Amino acid sequence: MRASTLLRFATTGSRQDTVRIVMTALGAAIGTIALLCALTVAVTGAGDGPYESNLLSETDLHPGVVIALALLCIPILALVGQCSRIGAPARDRRLASLRMAGASPGDVTRVAATESGIAAGAGALAGLAVYLVARRLLDPATPPGGTLVRTLPTDVLPPWWGLLAIVAGIPVLATLFSALALRRVAVTPFGVLRAQRDIPARIVPAVFLMIGAGGMAAFTAIIELLDLDSQPMAYGVLIFLALFVLAAIGLVQGTAAVAAVLGRFLAPRVRSPSLLIASRRMIALPLSASRTSSAILLAVLVGAIMQGARLNILRTTDSSNPFYADTFDLIDIAVAVAIAIAAAGLLVNAAEGIVSRRRSYAALAAGGTPRPVLARAALAETLLPLIPGVILAAATGILAARGVLGTRIESMAGTGIEDQRLVVEHVPVPWTELGVLVGGSLALTFVTTAIALLFLRAATDPSELRAAA
């Protein structure tokens, strides 16, 4: 297939294809801006500034800011992946028609990968433009006869190779991800065939979660066992990141197994029609639960770690210095933004699920199933697997924080040298903060799924019975 033909097939399509491209580009633009901001903080040196925030003025605190911005990109990338599924059935039929016209399986894979690459590339360029323009607009003018103190590091521009790596890396990764996602898909002239059944793994996610969560909970003992107390901190950070990744994989992949188990448990026992429909859906497509809730679970996991760290660190620092409290307030805002972005991805995924199953919904409605029953079934299908996942993510996060920072604080008290005594203070579990985190995440999930139900009225129209499945 020639390059011009490939480009034409990748950029043309129906209205759903246009929405998918626009949403993918928007997500890529947001991710580009976040990564550029992280790179800017990373290259900010001691000679730059001064800045109003100590987070920017003190270079020793820059790694934490960079890590926080990088973690913020996780739900953004998850949102991009969910946006790429918009109109997937219609795209699959279009790819099948290309096979009927004589295209090879490799050709249709390149068409889909090129579409994602072009959308992500356009979004990355737009994100770069927004970053450069905002850098100019937000940079204040130097006051006459005074010292300019900036709020943001608008006086720092990352090196050209860093800008190029981010702007070029995002579309390259999007293209590779699309090609990798289609590696188990065979596009035939008769449709799209998946090479594997939708059966989730059970043992592997459980093992990953046990190793990751258990390792973080016993992090101090592991460091002492490996005799890394006297070694550079980088070794401990790498071990913690490896354990965190294992726990995150176990949580995300385990949601599918939880959905399948819940579906099999509820299906023969419930009498509610909505729960029966939801349980059968969870049995048929359990992996959709992990795709839907992955970003929410990761955001809750990071948020729980931060809440545990806040309680421990604030008890060991000077209460009269508001620096650490202000820092954790900023982290809470970042976590809230991450959860909001994850909820936006959930909204996209829920709406796409309703639209793609419109023939099934129309058949149920034509058979006499009331629309409120279908609405409750869609809500239950999303929330039932998510509730235990969110609780488990919060528990894993608080175990990680207490495993790294400890569960008690030792200090010396007394008025003189002879009166000095050891005081041990046990650090409580932040139940209130965890409750707000878990309850807020579930409430936001409920609201976004309820908004997606606005598409249900059109999906249950009898005319949708003529739509392709």
| DSSP codes joined into one string, 109-129 | HHHHHHHHHHHHHHHHHHHHH
Mean pLDDT is lowest, of 58-72, 134-148, 409-423, 447-461, for 409-423
In whole angstroms, give the CA distance from residue 151 to residue 42: 16
Q: In the block, which residue shows the tokens 């949403």?
A: 23
Mean pLDDT of 226-243: 78
**Using one digit for the tens of pLDDT, what is the confidence trace for 262-282?**
889 998 888 888 899 889 888
**Amino acid identity at 312:** N
In whole angstroms, give the CA distance from residue 455 to residue 221: 52
Helix or strand holding residue 187 (H, E): strand 185-188
Closest CA to 350 of 447, 441, 267: 447
pLDDT at 197 over 60: no
- Residue with the bigger pLDDT between 469 and 131: it is 131
Q: What is the mean pLDDT of the chain?
A: 79
Closest CA to 81 of 325, 349, 378, 323: 349
pLDDT at 188 over 70: no
Mean pLDDT of 309-332: 76
Closest CA to 354 of 453, 466, 462: 453
- Helix or strand or coil: residue 232? coil
Binned at pLDDT 50, 70 and 90, residue 90 comes out as low
148 touches 142 (CB < 8 A): yes
In whole angstroms, give the CA distance from residue 166 to residue 62: 19
Q: In the block, which residue shows the tokens 């035939």?
A: 188
Give me the half-sphere count of Cα atoms (radius 13 Å) on the Cβ side of residue 9: 23
Per-residue tokens: 402: 């207490």
Mean pLDDT is lowest, of 102-116, 234-248, 311-325, 431-445, for 311-325
